[in-house]
């Protein structure tokens, strides 16, 4: 499944608007923030249609994952947007992740904690925002609900690091080690980034963590607990992936429209996350050239002064 889809669902009291553009969207929030109500509206409409008194507008069919025979439901359903309620006991299981991965559906998962068995983007974790402007007017009947991005990292970062910590231990680490004048340390896995950033920040150093944002969603909560209130000493940079930065720099010939509108090209049947899509694009565009890309060992072409400068120019808010 590919594409970006707008979902509008409402009755005479509530009006929700969502935009879904990846295989996994996470909605978080405390109790009484409208998450369960959203699920109920989708469920009632799927069951009764217009007879429910609910209007749902979307190009794709919207369904709620049932408690019973959920695995069969996920395997049999195609080309749809499936909503998953947070009280499902199987939501953190390997079996659930296996059904989500490489599925021909998009999933909107209501869950307030992290889901480490799934690869999802830091940009696709949302809360529900209530527009109370409508309540200023006597004749207003509906409360309007929309999603807001919880981790808007792009607007917050401004740092000149003493130490750089990378999630990647291979080509990405080689590149950033060549790019920065300071110490650059590899974590060899996203689960270790939090611990290393916390340790180095406690040493009084200004720390910059660099991760693949397209698949780092399950680890973002504990990172943010560490750096919140310490932004002057501890920052996280989360581009889609290292390969995305290379493609976005413009030094490799490719269709930038594909990079800017990835949702129209990265088929959820083939890719668990957009990180894999960018790696495939870069590998294909450089195949059998003197700058052929490898994820395990970085070609010296990518360490040239001109290339390093070009990538640095798009890393807004970061100084060498």
Same domain, 202 and 122: no
How far apart CA 277 and CA 263 sit, in angstroms, is 10
Give a yes or no: residue 308 inside a domain: yes
Same domain, 97 and 230: no
Query: Judging by DSSP bridges, how do beta strands 5-10 and 14-20 pair with one another?
Result: antiparallel
Give a yes or no: residue 222 inside a domain: yes
How far apart CA 211 and CA 18 sit, in angstroms, is 27
Q: pLDDT grade, residue 202 (50/70/90)?
A: confident
When the pLDDT of each residue in the chain is averaged and rounded to a whole number, the result is 90
Residue 39: is its pLDDT beyond 70? yes
Of the three residues 150, 169, 204, the one that is the final residue of a domain is 150
pLDDT recorded at residue 155:
60
pLDDT recorded at residue 139:
46
Residue 181: is its pLDDT beyond 70? yes
Residue 136: is its pLDDT beyond 70? no
How far apart CA 108 and CA 114 sit, in angstroms, is 14
Same domain, 164 and 292: yes
How far apart CA 320 and CA 318 sit, in angstroms, is 7
Give a yes or no: residue 88 inside a domain: yes
Same domain, 50 and 129: yes
Same domain, 96 and 26: yes
Residue 215: is its pLDDT beyond 50? yes
Q: Domain of 190?
A: 155-314
Same domain, 163 and 296: yes
pLDDT recorded at residue 7:
97
Give residues with Cβ within 8 angstroms of 66, minimum separation 6: 73
Residue 245: is its pLDDT beyond 50? yes
Please return the burial class of 247, using the count of CB atoms within 10 Å of its CB with bins 0-12, 13-18 and 19+: buried
Q: What percent of the chain has pLDDT over 70?
A: 95
Same domain, 161 and 268: yes
- Span 119-124, mean pLDDT? 95
Q: pLDDT grade, residue 320 (50/70/90)?
A: confident
Same domain, 47 and 128: yes
Residue 133 three-state SS: helix
Give a yes or no: residue 320 inside a domain: no
Q: Choose among 310, 252, 257: nearest CA to 283.
A: 252
How far apart CA 115 and CA 216 sit, in angstroms, is 11
Same domain, 78 and 187: no
- Span 43-62, mean pLDDT? 95
- Span 286-310, mean pLDDT? 92
Give a yes or no: residue 85 inside a domain: yes
Specify the number of domains making up the chain: 2
pLDDT recorded at residue 6:
97
Give a yes or no: residue 265 inside a domain: yes
Residue 137: is its pLDDT beyond 50? no
Residue 102, by phi and psi: left (phi above 0), alpha (psi -120 to 50) or beta?
left
Same domain, 248 and 286: yes
- CA-based torsion, 309, 310, 315, 317: positive or negative: positive
What φ, ψ does residue 46 adopt, rounded to 5°? Answer: -60, -30
Same domain, 159 and 301: yes
Residue 92: is its pLDDT beyond 70? yes
Same domain, 161 and 129: no
DSSP sequence for 236-294: EE--S-HHHHHHHHT-S---HHHHHTGGGT--TTT-SSHHHHHHHHHHHHTTTSTT---
Of the three residues 96, 131, 150, the one that is the final residue of a domain is 150
Residue 216 three-state SS: coil
pLDDT in tens, 58-69: 999 999 999 999
More confident residue, 145 or 137: 145
Give a yes or no: residue 319 inside a domain: no
**Residue 140 belongs to domain with CATH number:** 3.40.50
Of the three residues 150, 167, 184, the one that is the final residue of a domain is 150
Whole-model pTM? 0.92
């Amino acid at each position: 499944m590919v594409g970006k889809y707008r979902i509008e669902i409402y009755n005479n009291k509530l009006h929700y608007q969502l935009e879904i553009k990846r295989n996994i969207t996470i909605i978080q929030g405390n109790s009484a923030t409208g998450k369960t109500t959203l699920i109920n509206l989708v469920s009632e409409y799927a069951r009764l249609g217009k007879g429910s008194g609910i209007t749902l507008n979307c190009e794709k069919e919207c369904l709620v994952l049932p408690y019973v025979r959920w695995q069969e439901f996920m395997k049999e359903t195609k080309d749809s947007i499936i909503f998953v309620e947070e009280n499902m006991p199987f939501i953190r299981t390997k079996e659930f992740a296996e059904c989500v991965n490489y599925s021909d559906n998009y999933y909107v998962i209501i869950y307030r904690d992290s889901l480490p068995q799934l690869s999802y983007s830091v940009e696709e974790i949302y809360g529900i925002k209530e527009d109370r402007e409508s309540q200023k007017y006597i004749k207003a009947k509906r409360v309007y609900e929309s999603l807001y991005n919880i981790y808007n990292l792009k607007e917050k970062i401004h740092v000149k690091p003493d130490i750089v910590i990378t999630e990647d231990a291979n080509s990405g680490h080689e590149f950033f080690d060549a790019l920065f004048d300071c110490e650059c340390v590899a974590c060899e896995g996203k689960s270790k980034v939090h611990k290393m950033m916390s340790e180095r920040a406690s040493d009084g150093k200004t720390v910059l963590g660099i991760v693949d944002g397209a698949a780092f969603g399950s680890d973002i909560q504990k990172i943010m607990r560490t750096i919140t209130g310490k932004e002057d000493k501890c920052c996280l940079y989360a581009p889609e992936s290292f390969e995305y930065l290379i493609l976005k720099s413009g030094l490799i010939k490719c269709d930038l429209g594909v990079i800017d509108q990835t949702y129209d090209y990265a088929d959820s049947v083939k890719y668990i996350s957009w990180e894999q899509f960018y790696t495939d694009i870069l590998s294909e565009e450089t195949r059998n050239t003197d700058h052929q890309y490898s994820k395990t060992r970085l070609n010296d072409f990518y360490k040239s002064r001109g290339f390093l400068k070009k990538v640095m120019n798009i890393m807004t808010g970061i100084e060498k």
